Structure 1
C-alpha cells in the first residue's frame, strides 16, 4: 500500500500542475476578465507551494509544516470563502465574516489544540466546516437556478463537486487523524481516498475551465 500512496502522491502534484496549466491556457484563450478567472492564479500558486513542499524542503529555512499551516492553508480557505461567498453567492458580508472568524480560530488553536490533540488540526477542521456551509448554499443555488438544465456550463458545478469530494470528504480524516492512525488499515484506506479525491478535485477544477462558461452567471 505504501507504493500506491507514493504513486498517488506524485499523481497529486501532476494533477495540480495540469489544472493550473489548463486554467491559465483557457483563461488566456478566452480572454476572460471576470472574477472567476482569478481561480487560475490561485491554482498556479497552489501548484508552486506544493511543488516547493515536495522538492524545495532543503531550501526552506522554516519547518515545512509551519509553511503550510500558517501560510498555505489559511490562503486556501480564504480564497474559497471569496470564490463561494463573494463571487458566486454574491454575499460579500458573509465572505468577510467567515474570513474573520476563521482567522480568529487560530487563537484557540494556539492556546489549546496544539497541546490537546483530540482534534488533530483545529484550524483546518474549522475552515472545512465553514466551507461546507458555503458548499451547501452553492448546491441550493444551483438546484434552484432557472438554468439548472445547463449545469454543465456552470464552472461552479465542477468546482463545488471537487471541493465536496476533497475538503468535505476528508474532514474526519484531518479532524481525527491520530485516532484513525491507530487503526492502520482504516488509515491506509482513508489516505488512499484523501489522495484520490485530491486528484479528482484538481481534474474537476480543470474541467470548470474547459467546459464551464466563464460568463455563465
Structure 2
C-alpha cells in the first residue's frame, strides 16, 4: 500500500526519534552503569541499530524483512519487556519464564495453523500484546497503590509504562486484524497513522524517563 507524504514523514521521524532515545540513554549511562537500567540503554541502542539494518541493510545484502522482524526484532522486544516488568519491576522470575515460554510457543501454533505468508504474524503479535497488557495493568496497579504515587514523575517506569500502553496496547487491533484491514484503506490509514504517532510518542517518553525519571532502584 502506497504511503502518503505525511506517512512517509512520520515513518522517517519514527526512526530518528528512536535514535534520539538511544543517544539520550547513552548520555545517561554513567550514573546508571551499576543499575539494571543499563540494560534498557542497551535495548534502545540495539533497537535503533536493528531499525537501521532493516531500513538500509537490503542495499548491501539480500534478506527477508518480514522474517527479520517476525522472528528476531519483534520477539526480542516482547521478551525484553517481559523481563523488565516481571523480573525487574515485580521481582518475579517465574512470571517472566512463563510469559516468555507462552509467547515463544505461539510461533509453533502459528506455523501449524497459520502457515500462509503474512507481513506480520498477527497471532503471535496478539498473544504477545495480551501478555504485555497484563504486565502493564499490574504495573499501573502497583504505581497507584505505591506510597510514592505523589512522586510518579520521578519514576522511570511511569513513562515507560505509558509509552508501552500507547504503542503496543494501542496498536493491538491494527496488527491483530492487519490482513483484514488491508482491504479497507481508510481504516488502515487511520490505524497506521496511529501506529507511527504512538511509536514516536513512546520513544519520546523513553527519552523523558532518563531526563525526568531520576528515581533510584
TM range (shorter): over 0.9
Q: Is the 8 A contact 2:26 2:41 kept in 1?
A: yes
Paired with 2:71 and 2:184, the residues of 1 have a C-alpha distance of: 29
Counterparts of 1:67-216 in structure 2, within 5 Å, are 67-115=68-116, 121-215=122-216
Aligned to 2:43: 42
Task: Give the distance between the partners of 1:207 and 1:42, measured in 2 at CA.
Answer: 16
Unaligned runs of 5+ in 2: none
Q: Distance in 1 between matches of 2:77 and 2:33?
A: 22
Higher relative contact order (Cα pairs below 8 Å, separated by 6+ residues)? 1
Question: 1:214: how far off?
Answer: 4.7
Distance 1:77 1:144 in 2: 26
Over the aligned positions, Cα root-mean-square deviation in angstroms equals 1.6
* Cα distance between partner residues in 2 of 1:125 and 1:61: 29
1:14 equivalent among 16, 19, 44: 16
Q: Which residue of 2 aligns with 1:26?
A: 28
How far is 1:122 from its partner? 1.1
Return 5+ residue gaps in structure 1 as ranges. Answer: none
By how many angstroms is 1:209 displaced? 0.8
Please give the alpha-carbon distance, in whole angstroms, between the structure 2 residues aligned to 1:212 and 1:196. Answer: 22
Matched, 1:62 2:41: no
Structure 1: 4+ residue segments shifted above 2 A: 58-62, 114-117
Q: 1:82·1:95 contact (CA, 8 Å) conserved in 2?
A: yes
What TM-score does the superposition give when structure 2 sets the normalisation length?
0.94
Moved more, 119-128 or 140-149: 119-128
Structure 1 contact 173–190 (Cα < 8 Å) conserved:
yes
- Secondary structure of the residue aligned to 1:115 is coil
CA–CA separation in structure 2 for the residues paired with 1:116 and 1:13:
26
